[in-house]
Amino acid sequence: MKQAKPSEQQLDLEQSYKMDAVTKGHMFILNMTEDRTGSEVDVKNITHVFKEIGYEIETHSDLTAEDLKGKLKQFVEEDEEDPLRHKGMCSAVFLLMAHGNEEGIQCTDKKLVTTKFIRDTVSGMKNMNGKPKMIFYQCCRGDYCVCIESDNWMGILPTSLLEAIGTLVKGTGLRNILGTDSRELYFHSHNAAKAPKV
């Protein structure tokens, strides 16, 4: 594998997001564990990586739709005890791992929280204006299976917001690859031969 080198534009500090704070940002992780064996390992590994980079991490598991909406709103809102909680941060990352469909993610009560609700909520972070806010989904978006090597992007996104969804509309996103199954994966693959090449 050839080592990637940064472009001139990436090295131009005037055109890059500032990432110079000791704490790089806040991260919100949701892990729905039902029928997602081993997802705790993914959370552990991702948590380790982002802590090493310098993120403060808030992790939630197995929430109802109402609870997830409340936790997201609480995460993005200014804290009365610490009104500048997000202001000193360089970025915010949201990782949502669950079952779902093309409209959103499924919670423990089988109700959906739409990707639109999540995107609109994240976009409303007052102290994060002009700073990168990234949303990553690891979830099915239907039951159609297809092997691809690219990510699916949804709609027109506001500036400074990245939303990445690791499956096609109506596609599945499994944590495990077993046998000859070649569904796309975002964070984890047990079968390196079937994993997309980077």
Q: How far is CA 189 from the centre of its chain?
A: 17
- The per-residue pLDDT for 195 is 41
Domain ranges of the chain: 19-165
pLDDT, tens only, 41-98: 999 999 999 999 999 999 999 999 999 999 999 998 866 566 667 777 889 999 999 9
Q: Rounded to 5 degrees, what are φ and ψ at 86?
A: -85, -20
Fold that domain 19-165 belongs to in CATH? Rossmann fold (3.40.50)
CB 96 within 8 A of CB 105: yes
Q: What is the pTM of this model?
A: 0.69
Most confident of 82-86, 112-116, 129-133, 189-193: 112-116
Q: Which letter does DSSP use for residue 87 in this model?
A: T
pLDDT, tens digit (0-9, with 9 covering 90-100), for 2-28: 788 888 877 787 777 778 777 889 999
Q: Given strand 133-138, what is the order of strands in its sheet?
A: 55-61, 25-31, 91-97, 133-138, 161-165
CB contact at 8 A, 137 and 100 = yes
